[in-house]
Amino acid sequence: MDSFSCSCHTISPSDSHTHTVIFLHGRDSTAEQFEQELFESQASDGRYLRQIFPQFRWIFPKSQVRPSMRFGEEISQWFDMWSTEDPHAERQIQLDGLRSSIALIRRVIDVESKLVAPSRIILCGISQGCATAISTLLCGSRMLGGFVGMCGWMPYVNEFSEAPNKLTELHKLRSCLDEAAADAALEALATPIFVARSQDDDVVPIQHSTVMRKCLQDLGMQVTWQEYHTGGHWVHEPQGIDDLVDFMSRTLAAQ
């Protein structure tokens, strides 16, 4: 088994493979645990995601177990951080892990692009997985079929909020996170975005997602925003699953 296989939990399609979903789990979770929870979530018609999209291959990358500076122990996380309530605190401890995680996810995308076109790949993440996934997308040079962010935020977003020229700031962000991507093409900015948040999320406050939405819109990206009164640090059921299905179905229809 190669290192790529060891770093991902993969669910094969039950029908002919047409699309791939790459979905990053949250902090202090695992790919297997998140996959089980996601596939137990139902749409309003009672169906599950694997039933609705039998032609999808689902890839759940696995984060490393990294030391937590705050808690003094090792936990599963894409990068170390001080607080999910204030994900921009102590940013200096985030950079190394974020860089290596971006490199991993870019490799997953590159490998999967040999099986399906990038326009048939949907990159997704929840919580810290969302933060890692959106950073990977912005460092990429290719338009993907779609991006889904749930319960998350965008790292280094304060610089974007304050910068008069968003594309110049994107170049700086790329230089910081992945030097090889600094001068990459900007096709990734054409990737359709879906962001889902619940107002009662007490893990990552909703305002961090609203700031991310604004920054992505300022970059000219097309953002679909769905906000729910309840749902906590997860997807509101069943409406959130319905909205996710609708977004992914539009990706299918665009082919």
pLDDT of the residue at 156: 87
pLDDT of the residue at 181: 72
Question: Which tokens hold the place of 18?
Answer: 């047409």
The predicted model scores a pTM of 0.95
Neighbours of 168 (CB within 10 A): 10
Burial class (CB in 10 A: 0-12, 13-18, 19+), 153: buried
33-45 pLDDT tens trace: 999 999 999 999 9
pLDDT of the residue at 49: 98
Q: Identity (one letter) of the amino acid at 158?
A: N
Q: Could you give the domains of the chain?
A: 3-253 (3.40.50.1820)
pLDDT of the residue at 54: 98
- The better pLDDT of the pair 214, 185 is held by 214
Task: Mark residue 164 as left, alpha or beta (left: phi above 0; alpha: psi -120 to 50; beta: remaining).
Answer: alpha
Question: Which tokens hold the place of 132?
Answer: 């890692």
1 has pLDDT over 50: no
pLDDT of the residue at 6: 60
74 has pLDDT over 60: yes
Mean local confidence (pLDDT), 68-89: 94
